[in-house]
Amino acid sequence: MIELPYWINVHKFLVKYKKIIFTLFTIAYTISISLISFGFLFYSYFPAAFNLISIFSGSFGSLALIMFLTTLFPGIFKRFNVFPLLGSSIVMFRRNIGILMFLTALIHSFYTFTIIAVMTSQFKPELLSSREIWGSLSLMILLPVWLTSNDFSQKKLGKFWKMLQRLTYFSLIVIFLHVSFAELKWAIITFLVILIELASWIKVWFFEKD
């Protein structure tokens, strides 16, 4: 089993300060929800604030993509039987990363397109670009995953919960189509992750004995 050298020290640090990191995630959730909730207000009454946030909307999108891809790696590591401690470190915060990813993607969507389109009466299907269509579809696919990313849903939904969470694999393709119309660099990175993800499942399906 392949392991990253010295990662044990990083893992110990993450475990030691896990509660503090959870608190930081909670703060990030609060800030993200505030930016989403007050977006229309900013547009109407505080345009300078709206414009400032809009400048970084592309960065929010890139950050959301990085977090989304990060949540996929523990499964990939497990199927390839590599980096178990690194995978465990990500799993420790994977739910938090996933929740923040969705909120960050919403900020990206709201300040790039949604708020402006709604406020200028341009929010019509026929006016959407391919990038906006695929981006909106990816958010719709991930919405039930985000809503059920909690212990209560996991307990109540049982086996269906895991099936629902696997919508992330379908959303990966849709996100790739979205970023393909946005930035080549991220399209290439996402495509490579798709190939690695597929290769890890091929290894399990065809090369591992029961």
Q: For the segment 100-125, what is each residue's pLDDT rounded down to a tens digit? A: 999 999 999 999 988 988 888 766 66
The answer to whether residue 131 sits within a structural domain is: yes
Assign 51 a pLDDT band (cuts: 50, 70, 90): very high
Is 121 within the bounds of a domain? yes
Q: How many Å apart are CA 33 and CA 26, to the nearest integer? A: 11
1 falls within a domain: no
In this model, does residue 46 exceed pLDDT 70? yes
Report how far residue 14's alpha carbon sits from residue 21's, in angstroms, rounded to the nearest whole number. Answer: 8
**Considering the domain boundaries, does residue 123 fall inside one?**
yes
pLDDT of 169-197, one tens digit each? 899 999 999 999 888 999 999 999 999 99
Query: 2 in a domain, yes or no?
Result: no
> DSSP letters along 1-45, please?
-B--TTHHHHHHHHHHTHHHHHHHHHHHHHHHHHHHHTHHHHHHH
Rounded Cα–Cα distance for residues 139 and 128 (Å): 15
Instruction: Decide if 69 is inside a domain.
Output: yes
109 is a domain residue: yes
pLDDT of 159 over the 90 cut: no
- The boundaries of the domain holding residue 190 are 7-207
Number of structural domains found in the chain: 1
Q: Are 112 and 54 in contact (CB under 8 A)?
A: yes
Statement: residue 210 has pLDDT above 60: no
Is the pTM higher than 0.85? The answer reads: yes
Range in 16-30, 122-136, 155-169 with the lowest mean pLDDT: 122-136
Confidence of residue 74 (pLDDT cuts 50, 70, 90): very high
- Give residue 67's identity as a one-letter amino acid code: M
Whether residue 200 is contained in a domain is answered as yes
